[in-house]
């Protein structure tokens, strides 16, 4: 008579217990939403949540949230080609908000998503205040978990000036969207402005529940043979490792404003490793956005999650939230030096 195993081998049990502990260390609440990981997959990099599910081994469950592609009131074809161009340590993109419009996204796309996998966040775009409100109100009537307001969209009534480059205009958009929904609102801040701290403060006062820092930095590339811009739109948004030091500073600056209000930050810009992610969290980010890195390593989320969990364990921390904003300022360092 065969002997049935009476218990799970100790090694296997320990491994499972360790994995469960790691998952617990990465889990936290963001604007009242349960995040299983500090990783947020950024808008424009994962389509409408299905793009990378075709890759073997990829799972949306490895991310705390997925931000869907930017959505406008009516369908948009986007900019003329070329719309993407690789640069040293980064990428230029000028897609131009190509999307099928909010009605199609709500009625056809959202029903196909598995909301048990992760949290799904809509990216709200518009060329006028009225369009922002229209898109927000439509998503408010959907199962979407939260909305990210893309205030880098051009305001057609102001000659194409981006809403996000001026605090007053940013606040107007946030306030209008706030009145149109009770769902969590995340405002995506532009680095292409004079004072990101003032913009963050105005957006918080207008009702933003969280902030995403930063959006891409405007740049261009030139074909020296034709002497023409490579990007059909002339300029595009620069993302990738090239902008990481800038993004890191902006997160630290915005955290100084957001911390007293308890407003969380999604830090983003050039994150490709667990070390990068940890830097952003220490600087003040509650969650970290992954975008460009997915294009060359679709399974990077697992690697980053594992690296963060290893770091927390090595530092004796039970949860990733204990690390948020733990940057030691020069004053604290001076105190340490004096105390010996």
Instruction: Give me the catalytic one of 45, 153, 177, 301.
Output: 153
Q: Is the Cβ–Cβ distance between 271 and 277 less than 8 Å? A: yes
Q: What's 320's DSSP letter?
A: G
Rg (CA), the chain: 21
The β-bridge relationship of strands 287-290 and 217-219 is: unpaired
| Residue 31 bears catalytic tag | no
Q: Any idea which residue has 């989320």 for tokens?
A: 301
* DSSP-derived pairing of the beta strands 33-35 and 154-155: unpaired
Whole-angstrom distance, CA of residue 13 vs CA of residue 154: 55
Q: Residues 6 or more apart from 10 whose CB is under 8 A from it?
A: none
Q: How far is CA 281 from the centre of its chain?
A: 13
The two structure tokens encoding residue 320 = 């990733």
Burial (Cβ within 10 Å: 0-12, 13-18, ≥19) of residue 336: exposed
DSSP H/E element including 17: helix 10-26
How many angstroms separate the CA atoms of 189 and 195, rounded?
11
Whole-angstrom distance, CA of residue 290 vs CA of residue 212: 12
Which are the catalytic amino acids?
153
């Amino acid at each position: 008579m065969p002997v049935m195993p009476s218990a799970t081998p100790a090694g296997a049990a320990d491994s499972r217990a360790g994995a469960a502990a790691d998952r617990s260390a990465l889990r936290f609440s963001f604007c009242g939403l349960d995040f299983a990981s500090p990783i947020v997959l950024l808008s424009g990099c994962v389509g409408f949540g299905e793009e990378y599910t075709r890759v073997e081994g990829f799972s949306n469950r490895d991310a705390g949230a997925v931000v869907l592609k930017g959505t406008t009131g009516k369908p948009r074809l986007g900019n003329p080609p070329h719309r993407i161009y690789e640069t040293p340590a980064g990428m230029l993109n000028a897609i131009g908000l190509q999307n099928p419009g909010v009605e199609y996204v709500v009625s056809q796309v959202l029903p196909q998503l598995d909301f048990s996998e992760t949290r799904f966040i809509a990216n709200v775009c518009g060329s006028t205040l009225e369009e922002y409100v229209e898109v927000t109100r439509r998503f408010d009537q959907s199962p979407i978990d939260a909305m990210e307001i893309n205030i880098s969209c051009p305001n057609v009534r102001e000659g194409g000036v981006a809403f996000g480059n001026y605090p007053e205009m940013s606040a107007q958009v946030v306030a209008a969207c706030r009145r149109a929904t009770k769902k969590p609102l995340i405002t995506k801040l532009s680095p292409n402005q004079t004072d990101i701290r003032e913009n963050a403060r105005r957006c918080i006062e207008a009702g933003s529940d969280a902030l995403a820092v930063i959006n891409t930095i405007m740049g261009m590339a030139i074909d020296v043979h034709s002497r023409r811009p490579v990007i059909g739109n002339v300029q595009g948004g620069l993302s990738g490792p090239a902008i990481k030091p800038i993004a890191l500073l902006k997160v630290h600056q915005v955290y100084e404003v957001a911390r007293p209000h308890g407003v969380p930050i999604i830090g983003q810009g050039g994150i490709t490793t667990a070390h990068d992610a940890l830097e952003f969290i220490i600087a003040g980010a509650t969650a970290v956005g992954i975008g460009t890195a997915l294009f060359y390593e679709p399974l990077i989320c697992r690697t980053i999650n594992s690296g963060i969990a290893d770091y927390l364990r090595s530092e004796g921390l039970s949860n990733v939230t204990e690390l948020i904003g733990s940057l030691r300022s020069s004053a604290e360092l001076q105190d340490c030096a004096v105390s010996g």
